[in-house]
């Protein structure tokens, strides 16, 4: 069922417009408390949105008819929710605690998951303590993860976000872009004799990753001679393909076809992150994800926060014409989190065909963008405050800084950071009306309409657990939205076409041939 086929959605659209956010606060002194919720360690304020009790109930009625809780239960059961590829979707099983059943496609896979967790943990410890060394007999000081898409962005984002929790050794690096400059930038500071390379590829056919692997093999060859494979580790579904690269079974860490790339951080794809933050930190990240999973499974519908956020996004996209959504973390270390959610959301729900194969009526996933505050305030907030487009905003902040500052005034600067977050949220929602600006010079340019909806998500501190909670929170928002829109959130045919055409040089068109010729001439 798609959104346009739900009668309750038509009922919602027929209701009169709600009053402004400013007036709803004026009429209800308890509004902030009633529309704020706890999800694990996350405090989520949904009071600055264009809704009231009636509109919330209308949206929940849409969710009920769409069968979101039946869909939720199917996801916990690892059912075949990837309909276009007829695959089970089992990433929630990766977050199940030890001793708890983890069902995927009717089978308890908990023993398989635990076995691979233990293998990964032992390998990380052996590299760190020097039991496993390079062919030159030297301890590995650096680890390079070669991957792209879900095999890169999750670990790279988390590695950046958890800077304060990294260990001194080994240092972890990421190469995803096939541009030679990316490889050169990383290798310029490394000793090949002390470098371990992780090849992260679900299928072991990703052209960019294999091209970068070939470059690293050439870089390693002078010091490793015939033992280049002793510098390599593979994370993949295709174990045989990894063996063909000469990698020993002890250094192949499989995951499963029922794990989608953008949902794979809790699998062996997180090996590079485990090197950076330790096995305990990696376990804490998974446990944080599970906290939100359990909230989604147990919370009553009117307090199921990822569902409420999903419904608000549908309201703005499908009723109010919002085409984008901004995410603004007031945390320097979350500077790649927006990229992560962008891939999660736009790969999952950027579809124009429903699960049934019929074209969608109306819009689906938003364009996700943003950057950390306070830089964002000096980049695009002008449009958010006074532009002609509706852009809902998610603000993310932390009560305490990621690290205990060494500089005088660090606590004061963090307080100023949070003051900016709260002020921007308030200004977007309430604005500055005409009666406050009418006597000022250029008054018409200094009026702020307000009524710009935004969510504020707060947590005590950026830790592996709270990062895991944020990841799972957005996963569930995307899942609920995709289900209500009627799309398959777990395939990605739009990604596959571009990869396929990149290898089809014999099939071309006039424009492409002209561009190829210009590139050839410019290269000589």
Which amino acids are annotated catalytic?
347, 378, 499
Sign of CA dihedral 222, 224, 228, 234: negative
Which distant-in-sequence residues (6+ apart) come within 8 Å of 406 by Cβ? none
- CA distance linking residue 112 with residue 256, whole number of Å: 10
DSSP per-residue codes, 156-215: HHHHHHTGGG--SSSEEEEE---SHHHHHHHHTT--GGGEEEEEE-SSS--HHHHHHHHH
Using alpha carbons only, give the angle 163, 167, 168 rounded to the nearest 5 degrees: 105
Say if strands 107-108 and 103-104 run parallel, antiparallel, or are unpaired: antiparallel
Q: What are phi and psi of 315, to 5 degrees?
A: -55, -50
Three-state SS for 51-106 is CCHHHHHHHHHHHHHHCHHHHHHHHHCCCCCECCCCECCCHHHHHCCCCCCCEECC
CB 146 within 8 A of CB 213: yes
- Helices 337-349, 153-161: axis angle to 10 degrees equals 150
> What is the torsion angle, in degrees rounded to the nearest 10, for the CA atoms of residue 216, residue 220, residue 226 and residue 231?
-80
CA distances from 271 to 121, 255, 267, 310, 362 (A): 9, 11, 8, 31, 40
**Residue 491 has which token pair?**
């395939």
What residues pair up with 252 in beta bridges, in sequence order? 234
CA distances from 325 to 4, 33, 92, 242, 365 (A): 22, 24, 26, 39, 10
Tokens 């250029």 sit at which residue?
Answer: 442
């Amino acid at each position: 069922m798609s959104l346009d086929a739900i009668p309750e959605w038509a009922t919602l659209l027929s209701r009169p417009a709600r009053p402004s956010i400013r007036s709803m606060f004026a009429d209800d002194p308890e509004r902030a408390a009633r529309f704020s919720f706890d999800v694990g360690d996350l405090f989520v304020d949904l009071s600055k949105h264009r809704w009231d009790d009636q509109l919330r109930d209308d949206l929940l009625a849409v969710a009920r008819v769409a069968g979101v809780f039946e869909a939720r239960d199917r996801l916990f059961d690892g059912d075949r929710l990837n309909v276009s590829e007829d695959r089970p979707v089992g990433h929630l099983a990766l977050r199940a605690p030890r001793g708890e059943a983890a069902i995927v496609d009717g089978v308890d896979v908990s023993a398989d998951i635990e076995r691979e967790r233990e293998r990964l943990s032992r390998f990380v410890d052996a590299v760190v303590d020097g039991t496993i060394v390079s062919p030159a007999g030297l301890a590995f000081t650096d680890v390079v993860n070669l991957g792209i898409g879900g095999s890169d962005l999750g670990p790279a984002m988390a590695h950046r976000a958890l800077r304060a929790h990294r260990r001194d050794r080994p240092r972890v690096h990421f190469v995803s872009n096939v541009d030679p400059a990316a490889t050169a930038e990383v290798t310029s500071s490394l000793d090949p004799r002390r470098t371990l390379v992780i090849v992260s590829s679900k299928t072991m056919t990703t052209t960019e990753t294999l091209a970068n692997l070939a470059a690293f093999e050439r870089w390693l060859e002078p010091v490793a001679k015939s033992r280049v494979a002793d510098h390599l580790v593979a994370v993949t579904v295709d174990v045989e393909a990894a063996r063909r690269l000469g990698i020993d079974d002890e250094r192949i860490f499989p995951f499963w076809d029922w794990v989608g790339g953008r949902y794979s951080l809790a699998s062996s794809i997180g090996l590079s992150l485990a090197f950076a933050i330790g096995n305990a930190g990696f376990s804490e990240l998974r446990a944080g994800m599970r906290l939100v999973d359990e909230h989604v499974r147990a919370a009553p519908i009117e307090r199921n926060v990822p569902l409420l956020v999903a419904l608000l996004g549908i309201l703005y996209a499908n009723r109010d014409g919002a085409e984008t959504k901004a995410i603004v973390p007031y945390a320097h270390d979350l500077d790649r989190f927006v990229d992560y959610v962008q891939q999660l959301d736009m790969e999952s729900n950027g579809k124009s065909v429903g699960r049934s194969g019929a074209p969608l009526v109306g819009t689906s996933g938003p364009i996700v963008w943003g950057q950390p505050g306070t830089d964002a305030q000096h980049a695009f907030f002008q449009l958010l405050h006074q532009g002609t487009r509706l852009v809902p905003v998610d603000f993310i902040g932390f009560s305490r800084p990621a690290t205990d500052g060494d500089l005088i005034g660090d606590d004061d600067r963090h307080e100023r950071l949070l003051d900016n977050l709260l002020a921007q949220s308030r200004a977007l929602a309430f604005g500055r009306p005409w009666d406050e600006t009418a006597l000022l010079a250029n008054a018409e340019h200094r009026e702020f309409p307000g009524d710009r909806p935004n969510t504020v998500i707060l947590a005590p501190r950026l830790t592996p657990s709270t990062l895991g909670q944020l990841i799972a929170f957005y996963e569930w928002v995307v899942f609920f939205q995709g289900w209500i829109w009627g799309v398959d959130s777990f395939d990605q045919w739009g990604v596959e076409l571009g990869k396929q055409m990149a290898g089809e040089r014999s099939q071309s068109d006039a424009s492409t041939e002209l561009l190829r010729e210009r590139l050839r001439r410019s290269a000589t």
